[in-house]
Structure 1
C-alpha cells in the first residue's frame, strides 16, 4: 500500500525534505506532511544578500523570509536548516540573467533557478540527508504515469490562476521521480485556509515576486550594476529604415513593448526586434508582432516517444508566456533543433522566454517539456534595415 507521497512505506518511516522559502505555500506543505506523520526536515536557501530586502514585500529567499521559515518550523516542530547558496545563485542565475538581457533576450530567471539550484543542488542535499523525496510549494502536479520515463509525469495544477507548470518545464524525468508537489490539487484560498488551521502567523503573507532579486522590478538597474560598461546607447529604428530616436540601452526594452518608447510618430509602434549586435531597437506596427513559428534551444522532453529529426510533426499545445493559456501547435525536430509551428499566430513572442509544451489544451494537461525561445519566424516578413544606412527622421518627443 502506498502512502500519500506514492511510496510503499508508512509516513513515520519516510523522510521528506521540504524546501521552505518562508512563504505561505511551502510552509503549508511542511505542516501538512508533519501532521500526516512524515519525518520532515525544512531547508531554506539563502540566495542573495538579504539586507536590502528584509523589509520589502514580495521578496523571497532573503532575510525576513528566512526568519519566517524558522518560525514556522518551530511552530510545527521540525528541524530547520539554512544553506548559503548565494555564490551559486549569482553565477547560475543572476549573471546569466544579465548576459541574456544584453544579448537582446527576455530571460526567465525562475526557470534557471529551478533548473540549476533548487532541483539540482537542493536535491543533492536531500539525498545527502537520506531523504526519500523533496517536496516544494509549487502549484503543479506530479503522479505515477505508466510508460513515463522513471514512472512519473508532470501536470498542470488544479488552480489555473496559480499553475506554475510554465516555470517547471525543465524538470527532468529523474528529478520527477524524487520531487513531490502536495499543493497541485489545491487552490490558493484553500492553502491559506490550511495555514490558518495550522496556526501559522504567515497565513496572510503576500505572495513572493517571480524575480526575487530585482528590487521594484527595475531589471536595468541590476544589469547596469553587474555590467557597467556593456550597456550601450543606440538607435530606435522603424522597420522601414527610418531612425526615429535614440535609446540608452536595449536592456530597457522587450519584444512586444509599446509604452516607454518616447516616440511621437502618429502611429502606434511596438518593439518587434532587438538588434543586440548593433545596439538597435527595431519598432513597427502591431501586425509585425505576429509569430508563426518558433525555434527552441535547450529542449527538455518528458514524453515517452523520442523526438527524431525529420520525423512527423507532433500535435501538441504550447504556452509562450506564463500569462497565456496553451494554444494548439505542431512540434517537429529538424536539423536546427525543435521547431514549433503555430496554426494561429501568437503576438509578441520574445527570444529568451520559455515555450512550454503540453499534451493538450485541457486544464489539467500533462507537461511534455519545453525549451528556450531562440528564434522566431514572423507571420509578416521582417527585413531589418542595415545599420549603416538609416534614413533620419525627426523626433518630436524627448526620450
Structure 2
C-alpha cells in the first residue's frame, strides 16, 4: 500500500516552520517575553496561511471527487478520531496521576465529552487545535467540488457555481460554528490561491523552479514595506484566521507576501541538512504535533513553572514538546493494527495481520473501494 511519491522538500520545510509557529502561541510563558510577542504578532500573518496555501498547491488532480473525498477522510478525519480517543484516555490518566482527590464524576466527564463534542460539532473540550484539521478537510472538499463543477461542459455548471459562491457568502456572513464551517470561506480562498498558482507556475514559470528564482527576494521586500506602511498608517495588521480576523483585500495580500517570503527563506534552509531534515519531519508529523502538543504542555505545567521568566527552560521545553510529538508519530507507526487508525492506509507498509483485518467481513464493508486494498 505504501507509495513512494517524490516530495517537494521546500514545501515540507515551509509546512514544518508553519506548524511549529502554530504551537508557540499555546504557551503561558509567551506573555513573559516582549520580543517573542512582537515576533508572534508578525508571524501570525503568514504561519497558518502558509500551511493552507501549500496544501492547495499540492492538491491532487488525479482523483475524481468521490475518491478524493474518501482519501481525505482516511488522511484527516480518521486520524482525528484516533486523536480524540487517545487524548481522552491520556487526559484521564493525567487526572488520575495529578489529582489529590479522584472523583468518578470527573472521569465520566472526560468520557462524556466525546459524544458531546460530536453532537455540538466542536472538539474544543478535547483539544482546541482540532478545528484546524476539520477546517482544512472542509476547505479541501469545497475546492475539489468547485474544480469538478468548473470542469463540467454544460450550461448547468454556471448555476451550480453561482449556488456554490452564494453558500460561501452565507457561511462567511453567518459565522456558523458547527464543525467549524465558519472557516470554509477563508480556507477555500488560500487553498484556491495555492492551487491556482500551481497552474500558473506550471504554465509560465517552469513549476516549482519559480521558488528558487533570485527574483523571489522581491517578496520579503514587499512584505516588509507593506507591513511597515500599513502599521504606520494605523491599519489593523493582526490577521488571525483562528480568530476569524481576516479580510479579502489588504490582509489577504499582506499574508500572501508573507507566504512567499517563508517559501523564499526555505530555499536557503533546504541547503542546511540537519535543519532541513528536522523541519521536513515536523511537516510529516504536523497533525500529531497539533494533536498532542497541548497535552504535553499541560504535563509540563504540572512539573515546571511556565510563567516566570526562564528563557533557557522555556526554550528547552518548547522544543522538547515538538520532539516528543514527532516521537509519537514515529513510534505509533510501528504499533501494528493500532496505527491503522492514525495514518492514511497509503502510507503504511501493511503486515499480514493488518491485511487480514482490513479484508475481514465487517471491516471491509466500511472501507470504500477507493482506499481499500487491491
TM-score, scaled relative to structure 2? 0.23
Structure label with greater radius of gyration: 1
TM-score, length of structure 1 as denominator length:
0.22
Structure with the larger strand share: 1
More contact order relative to length (CA 8 Å, sep ≥ 6): 2
